[in-house]
């Protein structure tokens, strides 16, 4: 038992000396920051309610423009100015007096046809289109109400908006699972490297002279790799907590991710010992992990979703069962790898 901890300690010392673990944290920080940037950026572009004070000026014309004005009144940040005819409205648009042109005309079959012109290719366009969409949807809903007699089932009334940010759902369903699972992949990759490098440099031969078995060596390496994963994840969750994002069920989340790390590291060990060299091993490892993780995520109640539900405090019995299933899977994997190691011939490796 002692020698395993010695090997694990040596592994960790190696990581510290190379400062690679700092690089790893840096990468994760970058991914987190960039995905937040992306989402906040996208949200403010595609959901102007997140963009304070985005006001758009609509040049309206056509015989049904009065209804359009009424619809715009109930949408904050949108205003319709009426113009005599299409040409006048278009001129206002070309002179930058209006952000968009809406020509609303009643059609023969009792509907309303609108032709919307918005400026081409700039950031504003997106904001304008989204805002216009809201105006037109209110318009549509008003018109629907007026025609509800012709409908078999009138649309259900909508509740009031609460003004919640879509960023909230993103944080729990994407960002937290991402941050929790990145260390898992990194740990597996470290294991592959560590073992293939021993084989490649011929130092595994040297270790054989020491009074340790192959199982001890692999155990030590795996131990180090598994140990660093939950520590990183815990740091992330605490950081989020400090930043005002409460994360529930930290214990179960860490249990789930540690179990998953054991599985992934087990797979990494098996691949590293079977594959002929590092390139092949890393390739197989990447594909295997993508397959494993992709497959698990695609299943209902996969690890990603389980972490999201645990973190947002919507976990129920099935979520905890999922955690238990992964714990059992981890146990099975480690036993399986042990069995595999005891049967492997150390002389056959190079």
Residues 171-190 that bind other proteins (CB under 8 A): 172-174, 177, 186, 189-190
**Closest distance to other proteins from the beta carbon of 211 (Å):** 26
9 near other proteins, rule: CB under 8 A: no
Compute the C-alpha angle 175/178/183, nearest 5°: 140
Nearer to other proteins, 2 or 153 (CB): 153
282 near other proteins, rule: CB under 8 A: yes
CA distance 91 to 81: 13
344 near other proteins, rule: CB under 8 A: no
Nearer to other proteins, 205 or 213 (CB): 205
53 near other proteins, rule: CB under 8 A: no
Residues 102-161 binding other proteins (CB under 8 A) are 103, 105, 107, 109-126, 129-130, 132-133, 136-137, 139-140, 143-144, 146-148, 150-153, 155-161
284 near other proteins, rule: CB under 8 A: yes
Burial 309-322 (b: 16+ CB within 10 A, else e): bbbbeebeeebbeb
Site string for other proteins, 227-256 (x = CB under 8 A): ------------------------------
Whose tokens are 């299943």? That residue is 299
Neighbouring CB atoms inside 10 A of 161's CB total: 7
3-state secondary structure labels for all residues of 41-54: HHHHHHCHHHCCCC
Nearer to other proteins, 2 or 52 (CB): 52
348 near other proteins, rule: CB under 8 A: no
Which listed range, 13-21, 72-80, 231-239, 323-331, lies at the site for other proteins (CB under 8 A)?
13-21
Closest to 164 in 3D by CA, of 272, 75, 47? 47
Contacts of residue 326, defined as CB under 8 A and 6 or more positions apart, other chains included, come to 256, 259, 260, 263, 303
Contacts of residue 132, defined as CB under 8 A and 6 or more positions apart, other chains included, come to 56, 58, 78, 100, 102, 116, 118
Residues 21-50 binding other proteins (CB under 8 A) are 23-24, 26-27, 29-31, 33-34, 36-47
Nearer to other proteins, 6 or 297 (CB): 297
Which listed range, 170-178, 321-329, 330-338, 339-347, lies at the site for other proteins (CB under 8 A)?
170-178
Burial 253-291 (b: 16+ CB within 10 A, else e): bbbbbbbbbbbbbbbbbbbbbebeebeebbebbeebbee
52 near other proteins, rule: CB under 8 A: no
Contacts of residue 219, defined as CB under 8 A and 6 or more positions apart, other chains included, come to 4, 7
342 near other proteins, rule: CB under 8 A: no
Site string for other proteins, 70-99 (x = CB under 8 A): ----------------x---x--xx-x---
Residues 300-319 binding other proteins (CB under 8 A) are 300-301, 304-305, 308-309, 312-314
Contacts of residue 145, defined as CB under 8 A and 6 or more positions apart, other chains included, come to 154
Which listed range, 234-242, 253-261, 295-303, 320-328, lies at the site for other proteins (CB under 8 A)?
295-303
CA distance 320 to 310: 9
């Amino acid at each position: 038992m002692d020698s395993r901890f010695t090997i694990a300690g040596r592994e960790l010392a190696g990581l510290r000396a190379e400062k690679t673990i700092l690089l790893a944290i840096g990468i994760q920080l970058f991914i987190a920051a960039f995905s937040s940037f992306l989402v906040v950026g996208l949200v403010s572009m595609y959901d102007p309610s997140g963009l304070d004070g985005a006001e758009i000026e609509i040049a309206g014309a056509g015989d049904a423009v009065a209804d359009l004005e009424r619809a715009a009144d109930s949408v904050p940040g949108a205003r319709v100015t009426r113009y005599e005819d299409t040409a006048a409205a278009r001129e206002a648009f070309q002179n930058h007096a209006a952000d968009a042109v809406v020509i609303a005309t009643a059609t023969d079959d009792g509907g309303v046809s609108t032709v919307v012109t918005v400026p081409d290719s700039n950031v504003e366009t997106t904001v304008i289109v989204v805002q216009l969409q809201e105006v037109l949807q209110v318009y549509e809903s008003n018109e629907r109400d007026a025609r509800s007699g012709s409908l078999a089932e009138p649309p259900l009334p909508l509740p009031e908006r609460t003004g919640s940010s879509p960023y909230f759902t993103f944080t729990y369903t994407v960002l937290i699972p991402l941050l929790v699972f990145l260390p898992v992949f990194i740990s597996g990759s470290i294991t592959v490297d560590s073992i293939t490098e021993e084989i490649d440099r011929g130092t595994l031969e040297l270790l054989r002279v020491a009074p340790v078995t192959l199982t001890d060596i692999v155990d030590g390496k795996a131990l180090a790799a598994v140990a660093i994963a939950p520590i990183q994840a815990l740091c992330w969750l605490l950081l989020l907590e400090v930043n005002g994002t409460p994360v529930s069920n930290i214990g179960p989340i860490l249990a789930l991710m540690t179990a998953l790390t054991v599985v992934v590291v087990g797979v990494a060990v098996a691949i590293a010992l079977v594959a002929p060299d590092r390139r092949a091993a890393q390739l197989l490892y990447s594909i295997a992990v993508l397959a494993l993780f992709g497959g698990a995520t695609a299943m209902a109640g996969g690890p990603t979703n389980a972490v999201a539900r645990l973190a947002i405090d919507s976990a129920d019995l099935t979520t905890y069962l999922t955690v238990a299933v992964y714990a059992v899977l981890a146990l099975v994997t480690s036993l399986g790898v042990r069995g595999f190691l005891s049967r492997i011939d150390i002389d056959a490796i190079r």
